[in-house]
Structure 1
Amino acid sequence: MICADEPGPVIPRTFPPAPAWSPDGHRIKAELDYSRGPEKTWVYGGLRPADGQAATMTASSRNSVFYQQFLQRLENANPDGQIWIVTDNLSSHNSVSTRTWLEDHPRIHHAFIPVGACWLNLQEGWWRIFRKTALSGRSSANRDDIEQATTLATARPNAHAGPWIWGRPAPPTRRLRRRYVYVL
């Protein structure tokens, strides 16, 4: 089973250099200003909850052709057995071209989550970690910078991957600091 999804478009943004310090030791305050590039980049991602391994791919748009390329990448990464893709019912996931592509790849099956229940897809939790690692506060001038950040941000969690379990972990049990024994 693989949970797959695409977050919103990632837009290249360049931030001005950080302000320096004034001669008297105070930080110079500058207004937050950044410019956005004209090109959008889409990131496709798939998480295998059984072992926590993830696969990502960047693309110039979100359409059936790039989704099929991503499915091919997932099939190559999982050479054995059936592959169930848990995803939302986006038009590119259920288009005629995607369905005809799936006929040529009988190992891959889709399981669509209900509308309005994106929290059922474990990939959404992985995107939070990805955004914090790859995109938060970073300056990216073009699509290549986003692709490099995506590759690095995918490799780091994969190095320390563990099984993903849906839900909140149980709180730790509280240990008593002192234990008194009364003898009569």
Structure 2
Amino acid sequence: MARTGRPKALLELSEDEREQLQRWARRRKSSQALALRARIVLACASGLSNKEVATQEQVSTPTVGKWRSRFIEARLDGLADDPRPGRPATVTAEQVEDVVVATLESTPKNATHWTRAKMAERTGLSKSTIGRIWKAFELKPHREEGFKLSNDPLFVEKVYDVIGLYVDPPESAVVLCVDEKSQVQALARSQPAFPMMPGMSEKRTHDYVRHGTTSLFAAFNTADGTVISSLHRKHRAVEFKKFLAKIDTEVPDHLDVHLVCDNYSTHKHPTVSRWLEAHPRFHMHFTPTYSSWINQVERFFAYVTADLLQRSDHRSVQALEADIRNWVKAWNEDPRPFIWTKTAEEILTSLTRLLKRINGAGH
């Protein structure tokens, strides 16, 4: 006689159990583990053997036996996961809500923002628990970011104007982002720096001696990334007009020149306006107030600062200017244009969402 193995316990379903198992098995939002267990029980109830169910669901035979037995023993409740070992949770939902609301809507006594230690003292929870709650809700009280919204009544028009030059530049023309990096200081450290070594970062003294300042005028070509630059000890309308004259000599005569500038008074001085009237191929495009982020030359200045000025050590303005000229020359040997990807509509939509979030947080 062929061996049939140990007889299986009879598995029968009530109508309510069958309907619930079928819902678990087909609902997309169900846990995949729970859906599998429901399918196993339904298949077993249809009369299939453990081995046949295992083949059908592509699981092991012991897995089928486990959930068959669990269902027979505890019915639908038996398909839930076993409680995990360890101490049960001691932080209630009300405590979590209290931490989140206090973080968002209050400040501690004699401080501008919450720290884990201060919030732990307030709530009686541990600092690590506070940290986990903040992480779960993406709260970072120790961090802040600066911003200033433009109050320019022509903000929308100026955004469309400037972004239009970036994404759809005019034909037979060059688009230059222009600005001055003023008050660049020639700083001499009081002591020589300690060079970087394995396990030790470079060390510099915090004190220095000032040896004068200079201003870097730059016109960043949005098409190819090249830069026309000039250095002046002052940054008045007179110097800006000289810089415009330099641009005029370096840009081929057959091209129109579109300049993207901020609203600094120097750029609108009568001296500059008269020069522009005498050179009709120049067209000025002003960025909205408090919107330096829209002027690509600001990103170029950030490279100058990070690569050269941040750790500079110059004993004279002449030495500083020589280094800046060499740095710009090297940049132009391998220029890097910036690829502008945001349209004016996308920028305005993002600002609208920000304003809604800010206004909502204030109520």
TM-score, normalization: structure 1? 0.80
Partners in 2 of 1:34 and 1:63 — Cα distance?
28
Structure in which a larger fraction of residues adopt helix? 2
Where in structure 2 are the equivalents of 1:149-160 lying within 5 Å? 149-160=323-334
Whether 1:147 and 2:321 are equivalent positions in the alignment is yes
Mark the structure with the bigger radius of gyration: 2
Structure in which a larger fraction of residues adopt strand? 1
**CA deviation vs aligned residue, 1:105-135 (integer Å, no higher than 9, x gap):** 1111110000011111010111111112231
CA spacing shift, 1:6–1:81, aligned 2, 3 Å: same
Q: Give the corresponding residue for 1:63.
A: 236
Question: Aligned to 1:119, which of 293, 315, 328?
Answer: 293
CA spacing shift, 1:30–1:116, aligned 2, 3 Å: closer
Greater mean deviation of Cα atoms: 3-12 or 118-127? 3-12
Structure with bigger RCO (C-alpha 8 Å, 6+ apart): 1
CA spacing shift, 1:9–1:31, aligned 2, 3 Å: closer
Q: Give the corresponding residue for 1:98.
A: 272
After the TM superposition, list the runs of 4 or more consecutive aligned residues in structure 1 that deviate by more than 4 angstroms: none
1:165 CA drift (Å): 1.2
Q: Give the corresponding residue for 1:54.
A: 227
**SS class of match (2:320):** helix
Partners in 1 of 2:341 and 2:311 — Cα distance?
28
Partners in 1 of 2:186 and 2:290 — Cα distance?
29
**8 Å CA contact 1:135, 1:149 repeated in 2:** no
Question: Aligned to 2:193, which of 18, 32, 35?
Answer: 18
TM-score, normalization: structure 2? 0.42
**8 Å CA contact 1:56, 1:150 repeated in 2:** no
Q: Give the corresponding residue for 1:74.
A: 247
1:85 CA drift (Å): 0.5
Partners in 2 of 1:69 and 1:141 — Cα distance?
27
**CA deviation vs aligned residue, 1:51-99 (integer Å, no higher than 9, x gap):** 1101211111110010011111111111131101001011110000110
1:45 CA drift (Å): 0.8
Greater mean deviation of Cα atoms: 131-140 or 112-121? 131-140
**8 Å CA contact 1:122, 1:166 repeated in 2:** no
1:30 CA drift (Å): 7.9
Q: Give the corresponding residue for 1:134.
A: 308
CA RMSD of aligned residues (A): 2.2
Q: Aligned letter for 1:89?
A: N
Unaligned runs of 5+ in 2: 1-174, 196-202, 343-363
Partners in 1 of 2:186 and 2:243 — Cα distance?
22
Partners in 1 of 2:336 and 2:187 — Cα distance?
33
1:47 CA drift (Å): 0.3
CA spacing shift, 1:149–1:167, aligned 2, 3 Å: farther
